[in-house]
Amino acid sequence: MGYCFAVIRTGAYAGVFIVFVLIGAFGHVLFFMSPPRLLKWIAFFAQRWARMTCMVLNIQVRIVGDTSIKPGSLIVANHVGSPDIFVLGASFKGFFVSKAEIADWPLFNWLARLGKTVFADRSKRHQVKTLIREIEQRLNSDHCVILFPEAQATDGTDVVPFKSAVFEAAILANRPVVPVEIRYHDDHRPTIAYYGDSFISHIMTLLKAPRLLATLTVLPEITAGVDRQTLAEKSYKAIHDKHMSNKVE
């Protein structure tokens, strides 16, 4: 049965992929001379893409808290695997910050580039300032930016302390940070949402799964303040404490 799911979903997602690549390309042509309108176009259709992806993969999302957050907020979440992108993207209209390697992945790099993803290469110190400046510009344009400050995927049992550098963008833009905790309910240890060692096996596991349940908890926003380290620690504590309390329940 799992392989039947995989075949059907692969065919369905191929159609979704083609449609949204065409929509993205059309937007880039239509609003070539108007970057602000292009960003609004992409933000609108990126959310539709995420919702369609959740539908194809039968990812069912339960939201706890208020998703009507302020425009230009920095949304930070714990990171388990690729479903995080679909769950967050379906729930919030915004732009993702992604590791630079995705820019080189076949097919996926098309959607990422057309979707105006902000690419982060933390291994190159001189690019961190460019990354912060680009995030700040998105926030100042009243677009939410979504990122995973753990800077790595985990198996979902704990939350790794956050990297603080990217929080500087929220301080410079004087925009709030919205912590979000993601939790999966599939009785697997680790969850099938976990990225693991192989991207291909990870995707195949998702394609074969009958369904995946996720709870997304939107926690109270945190004022930017003046210290990125403190801001990162407050955001980490909010998500970590919620994640650990959920394990006890």
Report the C-alpha gap between 110 and 175 in whole angstroms.
30
Burial zone of 228 (CB within 10 Å; 0-12 exposed, 13-18 middle, 19+ buried): buried
**Of 143, 142, 182, 150, the residue nearest 166 (C-alpha):** 150
Report CA torsion sign: 211, 115, 108, 232: negative
Domain ranges (residues) in the chain: 2-248
Mean residue pLDDT across the chain? 89
Over range 145-173, report the average pLDDT.
Answer: 92
Range with lowest mean pLDDT among 43-47, 74-78, 114-118, 243-247: 243-247
Question: Does the domain made of 2-248 have the CATH classification 3.40.1130?
Answer: yes
pLDDT of residue 225: 82
Over range 204-213, report the average pLDDT.
Answer: 90
248 pLDDT higher than 70:
no
Q: Compute φ and ψ for 182, nearest 5 degrees.
A: -110, 135
User: Per-residue pLDDT tens for 19-57?
Assistant: 998 998 999 999 988 999 999 999 999 999 999 999 999
Kindly report the pTM of this predicted structure: 0.93
Q: Name the H helices within the chain.
A: 2-30, 35-56, 83-91, 108-114, 125-140, 168-173, 199-208, 228-248
